[in-house]
């Protein structure tokens, strides 16, 4: 019997919104994953949104997925004081979950420059890649064609092999972007509909994003 697959969904989640959750649900359903761990990345102070800390971003993730039994918050990268590389995080998670396989979830925009990632070949030795479509990005440009020729595979291969498969989903457009939501939060309340109620309440209580 094949070992279960855990999805690792990294991002800034600044803030987490309905698009993130819809993407995670879609991947869970279509790739037959046991669970997805949402892993907020640690941002250095000069890059973080003013007034929003890594602790607050993680708290918003926890609130957003409270009613999602197959989703968990992964604090791994937030607990580091040094730069976090995906390969290091995957090595740690592989040691933490030795009887599972890992699938790292990225967007097509990231696949286009994946060979620029730190130790990208080692990432594919540790995990599969599940690639979500993003508006304006194509598998015909950047690094994507070469990578897909060598590592591209089917869902069946993803579920049968331990690592090294790049599987592209045919997902709908999970809009909007966190950038758009931050802009909306600073100017009006329209962004409320794009956020889980608990996340919206937290943003208001903490007075984040100019609210």
Question: What confidence score (pLDDT) does residue 179 get?
Answer: 86
Residue 78 has pLDDT above 70, yes or no: yes
pTM (global) more than 0.75 = yes
**Residue range 59-73, pLDDT digits in tens:** 999 999 999 999 999
Question: What confidence score (pLDDT) does residue 178 get?
Answer: 87
- Which of 43-47, 49-53, 133-137, 138-142 shows the highest mean pLDDT? 138-142
Question: What confidence score (pLDDT) does residue 203 get?
Answer: 95
Residue 198 has pLDDT above 70, yes or no: yes
Output the six-digit token pair for 192.
């409320």
Confidence of residue 113 (pLDDT cuts 50, 70, 90): very high
Element (H, E) at 192: none
Question: What confidence score (pLDDT) does residue 1 get?
Answer: 55
Strand partners, 104: 8, 129
Is the distance from CB of 125 to CB of 162 less than 8 angstroms?
A: no
Helix (H, G, I), strand (E, B) or coil at 160: helix
Question: What confidence score (pLDDT) does residue 47 get?
Answer: 63
Q: What is the CATH number of domain 5-206?
A: 3.40.50.620
> Average per-residue pLDDT in the chain?
92
Residue 132 and residue 122: Cα distance in Å, rounded?
A: 21
Residues in the chain, overall count: 211
pLDDT, mean of residues 62-86: 91
User: Burial, 141: exposed, middle or buried (Cβ in 10 Å; 0-12, 13-18, 19+)?
Assistant: exposed
The residue extents of the domains of the chain are 5-206
**Residue range 12-35, pLDDT digits in tens:** 999 999 999 999 999 999 999 999
Strand partners, 36: 7, 71
């Amino acid at each position: 019997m094949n070992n279960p697959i855990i999805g690792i969904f990294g991002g800034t989640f600044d803030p987490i919104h309905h698009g993130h959750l819809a993407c995670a649900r879609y991947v869970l359903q279509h790739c037959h994953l046991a669970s997805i761990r949402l892993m907020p990345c640690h941002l250095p102070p000069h890059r973080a949104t003013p007034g929003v800390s890594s602790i607050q971003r993680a708290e918003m993730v926890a609130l957003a997925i409270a009613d999602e039994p197959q989703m968990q918050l992964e604090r791994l990268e937030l607990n580091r004081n040094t730069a976090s590389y995906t390969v290091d995080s995957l090595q740690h998670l592989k040691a933490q979950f030795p009887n599972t396989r890992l699938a790292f979830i990225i967007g097509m925009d990231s696949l286009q420059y994946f060979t620029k990632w730190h130790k990208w070949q080692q990432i594919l030795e540790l995990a599969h890649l599940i690639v979500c479509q993003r508006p304006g990005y194509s598998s015909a440009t950047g690094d994507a064609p070469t990578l897909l020729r060598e590592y591209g595979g089917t869902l069946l291969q993803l579920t049968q092999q331990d690592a090294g498969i790049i599987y592209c989903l045919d997902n709908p457009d999970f809009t909007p972007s966190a950038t758009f939501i931050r802009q909306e939060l600073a100017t009006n309340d329209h962004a409320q509909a794009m956020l889980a109620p608990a996340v919206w309440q937290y943003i208001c209580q903490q007075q984040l994003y100019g609210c």
